[in-house]
Structure 1
Amino acid sequence: MAAPDHFGATPEGERVDRYVLDNGRLRVAVLTLGATVQRLEVADGTDVVLGLGSVDDYLNRSRYFGAVVGRYGNRIGGARFTLDGTEYRLAANDGANSLHGGVRGFDKRVWRAEPAGPADLLLSLVSPDGEEGYPGTLAASVRYLLDGDTLRLEYRATTDAPTVLNLTNHSYFNLAGGGDVRGHVVSLAADRYLPVDDGKIPTGEPAPVAGTPFDFTVPARVDARLGGRYDHCYVFTDDAGSSTGSSTGSGGGALRGRATVTDPDSGRSLEVATSEPGVQFYTGHMLDGAATPFGPFAGLCLETQRFPDAPNRPEFPSAVLRPGETHVSVTEYRFAVS
């Protein structure tokens, strides 16, 4: 791997580097700020993710474009949770709720980079006890690995005290390389989804998608229903026909094909496989062209993860990580160009 580019510096003076991974099929630019995927060029040279051009933009004009979000991706209701009898209060940065780790989540941290080859990069950070209200000192890492037309993300984490954890990548994909994604065709191997209230907090148990506008078990255009406005967690269906998820501390579990996206005009497609029990499907309809360089529907997200508000929902797959356990999670993005 070539030496990194100096991308800029944070207001505190921390250097931000840009690493480029290239295996002859995929070319991916990754920033140490937020472990962010800034560019992702597929085999025909098209960049299929939304990215920004400066540190200042990522700190002030980003909607988590390409970043690893944490300590807890997605929302925690009421910006609080109770673990082992102790209540922890978090930053309420999304109305009354906490979103993507709080005011200064992992997307705004500078990660340590360890390149391992032209197509292999490990990024790591340490989140101290009490950061953004979360208990325990957490050591987290994400490895970016290119293999043919596949980008593989491997997440690991350990803690010195019980905590909650939900790491995911927040890339916005646009397989056309521009314009909007309303004409993209999506399928999700999910027979249930999580209905939410006005604050996007789950209202109860997963509900069947069958017979509702939330059914993507059969491929459909993004804008075929609800005007294409989705920001919901889908519960993946396992091989036995039920929806499950392994506990956070027990390892990543088996990867299965979970989601596909196709741009009919260009013929480019994306297949997502993951060890996680769910995915937040967000169509970017809330992007604001005045606040960011991108307007509504400029890209869509497939955030593989535990469920929103799981720390407050014991019936959901566990998001608790304890000392002596290692959180392991894997997601693969496989691209095809016809």
Structure 2
Amino acid sequence: MAGQRSATIERVVLEDGDMSASLLSYGAITQGWWLGQTPLILGYETPQDYLTDPYYLGAIVGRLANRVSGAQFDLLGETIRVTANEGKNALHGGRDGLSHQYWSVEKTALNQAVLSITSPDGEGGFPAEVQFVIKVELAYPCLIYTITAHPDRPTPISIAQHNYYSLGCPQGILDCRLKLHAKTLLELNANAIPTGRIPKADAESLDFTRGRVIGQEAGFLDHYFVFEDGRDVTMPVAEVETPSGLKMKVYSDQPGAQVYTAAHLSDPFRPGAALCIEPAGYTDAVNNPAFPSVICTPEKPYRQKLTLEIFED
């Protein structure tokens, strides 16, 4: 139920081959993902710790992922004001976003689960009642998220899955090699809000089209990279390789992704301990008419598929 608050967080574990994953009803969080005994994402051992987590570890974020400038936008001639939770801006749906809600969770098979929630009209300031459903499937060597949302009237929706990929790297991920199928990115102002310009990635620091070590020159990342137009969606949008040879490929049908190297993590984690790759609609698309629209309707509901594939040398 939308807005439900409960002392109990349900947990289910999925298994397939040498891979397992745990999901929580709070925030539709992926608490853990393992290849054998190797942890592939960061997570808290105790589910209750997620109630005070400020980093969105493993959560489903939205209704609008990333930032909304001034916590407002115009829709069908009306100014919509949503809850600000990062200064004057709204981040990841505000304080009442999907990451802070209790979802229904049902394990439908040894390797599958379905999470669902109905977000009421006006929750967090957003218009429309929306039914969200997430199917999570562990199909070795892949973890697959299929996300759908059905609103009862026009409203913006852009969801991101917010795993922190550690890929078994005890020293962090800055020594990992990252390749992105993205030649451009969103230019940001001082408040991390897009200016509306989409320049080419700087070859000196932000060009990952050929693959490069994350911490080499680029340092910490927190940028929205735009995937190439007309790309083959059966090909990966991102590839990560660890010094040990473990590899992850990311497949997505979204137009781009926020790539974040966890500069703001603190105890019990540390900065640079993991990498977030968050496919979603363009940041602040509701305030930039030139960006691809994120408005969904009963006739045009929301759908996203995210596939994560693990390889070992």
TM-score by length of 1: 0.88
Contact 1:14 1:110 in 2 (8 A): no
Q: Distance in 2 between matches of 1:237 and 1:320?
A: 22
Q: State the AA in 2 paired with 1:233.
A: Y
Q: Distance in 2 between matches of 1:308 and 1:41?
A: 30
Q: Distance in 1 between matches of 2:66 and 2:4?
A: 26
1:29-71 CA-partner distances (Å, limit 9, x unpaired): 11111111111001x4201101013343212134000010011
| Residue 275 of structure 2, aligned match among 280, 297, 300 | 300
1:193-239 CA-partner distances (Å, limit 9, x unpaired): 0111111101122111153411000111111123x211110000134
Q: Distance in 1 between matches of 2:156 and 2:7?
A: 27
Bigger mean CA offset, 134-143 vs 14-23? 14-23
Matched, 1:286 2:274: no
| Residue 86 of structure 1, aligned match among 55, 78, 81 | 78
Q: CA deviation at 1:263?
A: 0.5
Q: State the AA in 1 paired with 2:32.
A: R
Q: State the AA in 2 paired with 1:328.
A: R
Q: State the AA in 2 paired with 1:31.
A: L
| Residue 322 of structure 1, aligned match among 297, 300, 307 | 297
Q: Distance in 1 between matches of 2:245 and 2:47?
A: 33
Q: CA deviation at 1:298?
A: 1.2
Contact 1:46 1:177 in 2 (8 A): no
Q: Distance in 2 between matches of 1:28 and 1:158?
A: 27
| Residue 211 of structure 1, aligned match among 183, 203, 219 | 203
Q: Distance in 2 between matches of 1:148 and 1:61?
A: 29
Give 3-state SS (helix, strand or coil) of 1:81's partner: strand
Q: Against the structure 1 CA distance between its residues 294 and 215, is the aligned structure 2 distance closer, same or farther, given a 3 Å change threshold?
A: same
Residue 34 of structure 1 corresponds to 27
Residue 242 of structure 2 corresponds to 263
Give 3-state SS (helix, strand or coil) of 2:272's partner: coil
Give 3-state SS (helix, strand or coil) of 1:107's partner: helix
Residue 276 of structure 1 corresponds to 254
Residue 20 of structure 1 corresponds to 13
Structure 2: any 5+ residue segments left out of the alignment? Answer: none
Q: Distance in 2 between matches of 1:40 and 1:236?
A: 26
Q: Against the structure 1 CA distance between its residues 279 and 11, is the aligned structure 2 distance closer, same or farther, given a 3 Å change threshold?
A: closer
1:38-49 to 2 correspondences below 5 Å: 38-42=31-35, 44-49=36-41
Q: Distance in 1 between matches of 2:230 and 2:283?
A: 23
Q: Kindly, what percent of the aligned residue pairs are identical?
A: 32
Residue 66 of structure 1 corresponds to 58
Give 3-state SS (helix, strand or coil) of 1:16's partner: coil
Residue 175 of structure 2 corresponds to 183
Contact 1:49 1:177 in 2 (8 A): no
Contact 2:239 2:249 in 1 (8 A): yes
Q: Distance in 2 between matches of 1:177 and 1:325?
A: 41
Q: Against the structure 1 CA distance between its residues 305 and 11, is the aligned structure 2 distance closer, same or farther, given a 3 Å change threshold?
A: closer
Q: Distance in 2 between matches of 1:162 and 1:89?
A: 15
Q: Against the structure 1 CA distance between its residues 142 and 78, is the aligned structure 2 distance closer, same or farther, given a 3 Å change threshold?
A: same
Q: Distance in 1 between matches of 2:183 and 2:295?
A: 25
Residue 112 of structure 1 corresponds to 104
| Residue 237 of structure 1, aligned match among 209, 228, 248 | 228
Q: CA deviation at 1:187?
A: 0.5
Contact 1:231 1:281 in 2 (8 A): yes
Q: Distance in 1 between matches of 2:236 and 2:4?
A: 41
Structure 1: any 5+ residue segments left out of the alignment? Answer: 1-9, 241-252
Matched, 1:150 2:119: no
Q: Distance in 2 between matches of 1:194 and 1:131?
A: 28
Matched, 1:127 2:119: yes
1:94-140 CA-partner distances (Å, limit 9, x unpaired): 12210001012111111111222111111010100000010000101
Give 3-state SS (helix, strand or coil) of 1:102's partner: coil
Contact 1:195 1:206 in 2 (8 A): yes
Q: State the AA in 1 paired with 2:141.
A: D
Residue 247 of structure 1 corresponds to none
Once superposed, what is the RMSD of the aligned Cα atoms?
A: 1.7
Bigger mean CA offset, 204-213 vs 166-175? 204-213
Q: Distance in 1 between matches of 2:198 and 2:206?
A: 12
